[in-house]
Amino acid sequence: MGAARLYALLSAVSLLGASYYLYLPLPDSVAEPHKLMVLDAVFRTAQHVGTLTERLGLCDQVTFLQTIISRVARVPAHSDAAVLVRDAELGGVRVRAFTSTRGGDSGGGGGGPPKRAVVYLHGGGWALSGAQERGYDSQCREMASSLDAVVISVDYRLVPQHRFPVPLEDCLRAARHFLRHDTLAAFSVDPARVAISGDSAGGNLAVAVALQLAREPEEGSASLKLQALIYPVLQALDFQTPSYRESAHVPILYGRTMVRFWLQYLDDDWLRALPLTYVLTCEHDVLRDDGAMLVARLGALGVPVHRAHLGDAFHGVMQFMQQPLAFAVGRRALDGYLAWLDANL
C-alpha cells in the first residue's frame, strides 16, 4: 500500500473515530445540538483524563479538574470604562467586587446615588470554578453594568479540600459582612435594595444563606430584598425524578456527576421566611424538577415566587456566551434574569 493510500485510510479511520466520539443523542428541542456535542466531548475528555489520574494515584478527578480550571480559565481583576473590578475580602472571605461606574461612582462610596447590589454565589458542584473564572467574571461584569449595581462574587472555599459546612459558612460570613450598614455605605449601596443570587450549587448556597439570614438577623444589618436562583440544586433524596431520568446524559451536568458532587459535599416555617424569589429552570437539566418543586412549595406557603423556564436550554447555559462555544439560549437566559432583577430589585 502506497504512502498516500495509507494516509488516506488513517485519515478516514480517524475521522470516523472522532465522529463516533463526538456524536451524542440529544432531545430534538435542545438548542444548537451540534455545538452542544462539541461541548460534551470537551467535558467528557476532561473527566476521562481526571479518572485516569485518579486510577494512577496521581490525584483525584475533582482535584485534576480544579487544576485545569485554575490554569486555563481564571482571569485577573481588570476594570474598564463601565465597571470597576477589584479583589477584596469580606469577613475574611475572598470576593471579587464589580461596581458600575455609571453616574460617576468610582466604587469608593463617594460618587452618585446609592446603588442596588447582588451577592452572587457561583456554581460548580461546590467543587469547581470560582469568582475569578472567566465565565463568572464576564457574567458578573455584565450584571453590574446592566443593572447599574454592585455585584459581590464570593470566592468560597471548595470541596474536597474544604468539606461541608465550609462553603456555606464562607458564603454566610461574606453575606453578613456585606449587609452591615457600614459596609454597604462604603460600597455606596442602598440597604433596601440588596439581593442574593446563585446558579446550580451556588443556588443551593443562596437559599441556605437567605434562610439563615431570615432566621437569625443581625442588628445593624440590612435584610435581603429578594433571591434569584438559576437552575438550583435543591434536594439529594431522589435521583430518579423525571428530569434526572430524561436528562441523565445531557451536557453539561450528567446525572452521575450530580450524584458524585452530592457525595462530596427544611421545614415550612423556615421557607415562609424567604424573600421574593426568582427560579430559572431548563428543560434538559437533571435539576429541572428541583426548581419546579421549590416553586410549588413556596407558592403554597404564600412566598411570592416567579419561575422562568427555558424549553430548549441545558444546565449551565448562562456560562456559555463566549465564542467559540456561545449559545444564543444562554444570552436569552441572562437577558431574562437581568430584566427580572431590574424590575424587582
List, in order, residues 6 or more apart from 96 with CB less than 8 Å away: 77, 85, 86, 87, 88, 131, 132, 137, 140, 152, 153, 155
CA separation for the pair 211, 266 (Å, rounded): 10
List, in order, residues 6 or more apart from 24 with CB less than 8 Å away: 36, 37, 40, 41, 249, 251
CA separation for the pair 337, 247 (Å, rounded): 23
Show the cell assigned to 189: 449601596
Q: Which residue has the cell 479583589?
A: 87
List, in order, residues 6 or more apart from 93 with CB less than 8 Å away: 154, 155, 156, 170, 171, 173, 174, 177
Q: Which residue has the cell 454566610?
A: 172
Query: Is residue 247 annotated as part of the catalytic site, yes or no?
Result: no
CA distances, 247 to each of 30, 32, 287, 288, 313 (Å): 11, 16, 9, 9, 11
CA separation for the pair 15, 10 (Å, rounded): 8
Residues 174/215, Cβ–Cβ less than 8 Å = no
Name the active-site residue from 153, 200, 221, 247: 200
Supply φ then ψ for residue 94, to 5 degrees: -70, 135
Q: Which residue has the cell 430559572?
A: 280
Q: Which residues are catalytic?
A: 200
